[in-house]
Structure 1
Amino acid sequence: MAQKAAKTLATRNAATLTRTHLITLTLHLLYLILHFTFQRPRSLKPYILLAVPTLLIEFYLDRVGRPRFNEDGSLRSAGEDLNATGLTEYMWDVLYWTEGCIVAVCIFNDRAWWLWAVVPLYSVYLAYTTVMGVKKGFAGMGAGAEGGESNAPLSKTQMKKEKKGDRVKYRR
């Protein structure tokens, strides 16, 4: 039972990476076969420009997520969790979106590469929402120091204090 979580992570990472490599290989071969066999004009420039970064992302995910074993077959490292949120999740999104664009280019034409423009737009959207969230968080911190009104709902204790006028009662 030792290292059960690490072994499970290693198995899941290996399966995910194998599946991803097979899908990527199939899609790239399909694109190249269609490019070199049919007379439909397909340009290799957008393919290279947009597929190479995705292949680099896939290589990076393989490098950090691939389990490593000792010479005797025991697990040395399970690799990083490929289902992690944050940058890893964004890399998977870019990878899947590019594979979808390759499928669209195979079905339609080179104009489908314009679908890839969604990736930078999505990045701008994520950056904007992050900045606005941080700005909203900092705005709430300074309201008490500046004496400004906040829009937060009042607790029962705060409502009672406001009703009394915040005066202190002394006992005799």
Structure 2
Amino acid sequence: MANSSQKKIAHENSKTLLALRKGFIWVNAFYIFYRIIYHWSTFSFKLAAGYTITAGITFFLYTQINAMSQPRYNTRGELADAGQDLSQEGLVQYAFDIIYVTWFVHVLSAFWSKAWWFYLAIPAYAGYKAWHLAIKPMMARSGLGGALAGVANPAGAGAAGAASGSADGAKSKRREKMEKRAEKGPVMKYR
């Protein structure tokens, strides 16, 4: 079995997509029957717009995930490519997270109209990740991180360097290396 790992990925992807389809059907059917039909008198235009937009986002993400994970077969009918592995980390997992948060909000908002505020968890998490992965390292590289540290400690490393160096104020080689590394900023590690 030369393609056993590819076959396993294709099988797992099909199971995951089936679970997503079932979840999409159940959550939306529950919301439509309970909130829209049973509690029609409390269903407003804002709720209809919110539901339509978020259900559309969920459907769009599902179609993207489905397109990425489709297996490809060669002319003999053998598996050539299993598609993207849906269990790997990265943007695919963020798409799953958005789908799951949307389902949570739909189920909870069927009982409580203010549950739509939980949807703000998505941009809050995106801002958190953007800060730690992009903005903060850029500030450190451009020198803004060092400038902010200098404001907090105006005496800076000069007084510490003179105290740790020799009597005439010369810096040790180790201290000079540390200062050069601090000027460059943090080391970026990519996966």
TM class, shorter-length: 0.7 to 0.9
User: Which consecutive residues of structure 2, in runs of 5 or more, have no partner in the other structure?
Assistant: 147-155, 158-171, 174-191
Distance 1:72 1:33, change over 3 A: farther
Give the ranges of 4+ consecutive aligned residues of structure 1 lying more than 2 Å apart after TM superposition: 37-40, 66-74, 133-139
Q: Matches of 1:137 and 1:86 in 2, distance apart?
A: 25
Q: Matches of 1:14 and 1:65 in 2, distance apart?
A: 8
Distance 1:85 1:133, change over 3 A: farther
Per the alignment, residue 120 of structure 1 pairs with 123
Of the three residues 97, 101, 107, the one matched with 1:93 is 97
Task: Figure out how many residues of one structure are paired with residues of the other and give that number.
Answer: 145
User: Which consecutive residues of structure 1, in runs of 5 or more, have no partner in the other structure?
Assistant: 143-147, 150-161, 164-172
**Cα distance per residue 1:110-152 (max 9 Å; x no partner):** 221111111111111110111224544776xx9xxxxx97xxx
What's the TM-score, normalizing by structure 1?
A: 0.73
Matched to 1:22, the amino acid is K
**Cα distance per residue 1:28-76 (max 9 Å; x no partner):** 1111112123345123111012221121011100111122345764223
Matched to 1:116, the amino acid is Y
Q: Matches of 2:92 and 2:137 in 1, distance apart?
A: 21
Q: Matches of 1:135 and 1:82 in 2, distance apart?
A: 34
Per the alignment, residue 102 of structure 1 pairs with 106
Indicate the SS of the match to 1:76: strand
**Cα distance per residue 1:87-130 (max 9 Å; x no partner):** 11211111111111111112x22221111111111111110111
Per the alignment, residue 152 of structure 1 pairs with none
**Cα distance per residue 1:1-41 (max 9 Å; x no partner):** 11111011101111001111111111011111121233451
Q: Matches of 1:91 and 1:60 in 2, distance apart?
A: 9
Alignment pair present for 1:53 and 2:57:
yes
Matched to 2:6, the amino acid is A
What's the TM-score, normalizing by structure 2?
A: 0.66
- Whether the aligned pair in 2 keeps the contact of 1:13 and 1:67 (CA below 8 Å) is no
Matched to 1:23, the amino acid is G
